Amino acid sequence: MAVRKPKMILIDVDGTLVDSVPDLAYCVDEMMKALGREPHGEAKVRDWVGNGVERLTRRALIGQLDGEPSDEDFAKGYPIFLELYKDNTSKRSCLYPGVREGLDYMKSQGYLLGCVTNKDAQFTIPLLKGLGIYDEFGIVVSGDTLPVKKPDPQPLLHAAAHFGVGAEDSLMLGDSKSDVTAARNAGFQIVCMSYGYNHGEDIRNYHPDAVIDSMEELKTLL
């Protein structure tokens, strides 16, 4: 499907701009050790990320994607995770190949750029600053900026209102089912990265307007 040239592009963080799994896996495994339990390893954690750190912690505590830990387990584990992650947001994380070039291209074409993530601001801002891309965005909507987060469309509509841009001139760049759902409900176009965090599922199953392997491909797509 052809993608129309937008005026504004909103970009997800984890799995789209940044491979944050190395830091998240480190914090999950250190939390598990602190609780006297076996660490999970990076491969397992990679399948659990994409819905915020609270959901990740819950998954880690039960060792699977779906279900809930006991309240007692969560009350013990979550503060340990948060304390670890506060000091490990961007120590091991990195931009995906092509991200720097993609951002430079979008800026050169005059697109209004925003960042919309489910990660809380206390982690989002240091991560973006640590990787040198915070100043690329005219707005950063974090997971705790509004009472709701993706897949609710409100974070996307909030960013569009900030720029004074209508849904018909807006595009979301993401990697997950949550991004596709939020974009569709907001009336935005949606382009997905093939490499992101979608719990092991092929993002093409959710029918975004286009799927690309690198942000450098935006040069021919937009």
Number of domains in the chain: 2
Residue 203 domain-assigned (yes or no): yes
- Indicate if 112 and 152 belong to the same structural domain: yes
Amino acid at 145: T
In DSSP terms, which residues pair with 10 in a beta bridge? 114, 172
- Does residue 192 form part of some domain? yes
Is 3 within the bounds of a domain? no
Altogether, the residues listed in the chain come to a count of: 222
Task: State which of 45, 62, 86 marks the end of a domain.
Answer: 86
Q: Please say which residue of 54, 86, 118 terminates a domain.
A: 86
Specify if 1 maps to a domain: no
Same domain membership, residue 114 and residue 104: yes
The answer to whether residue 2 sits within a structural domain is no
DSSP 144: T
12 catalytic? Reply is: yes
Same domain, yes or no, for 165 and 188? yes
Q: Which residue among 12, 19, 29, 209 is the active-site one?
A: 12
Helix (H) or strand (E) holding 26, with range, is helix 21-34
pLDDT of residue 1: 57
Q: Indicate if 13 and 101 belong to the same structural domain.
A: yes
In a shared domain, residues 65 and 153: no
Within this chain, do residues 130 and 209 fall inside the same structural domain, yes or no?
Answer: yes
If asked whether residues 82 and 130 sit together in one domain, one would say no
Of 64, 86, 108, the residue at which a domain comes to its end is: 86
Domain at 14, CATH number: 3.40.50.1000
Query: Which of 99, 126, 123 minimizes the C-alpha distance to 113?
Result: 99
User: Quick check: is 44 in a domain?
Assistant: yes
Clarify whether residues 150 and 174 are in a common domain: yes
210 and 102: one domain?
yes
Q: Which residues pair with 113 in a beta bridge?
A: 9
| Domain match, 15 and 75 both | no
Residues 160 and 213 in one domain: yes
Tell me the average confidence (pLDDT) per consecutive run of 10 residues in the chain, 222 residues long: 91 96 97 97 92 92 96 97 95 96 97 96 94 97 96 98 98 96 98 90 95 96 94
Q: What is the biggest distance separating any 2 CA atoms in the chain, rounded to whole angstroms?
A: 53
- The domain of 28 spans 21-86
pTM over 0.85: yes
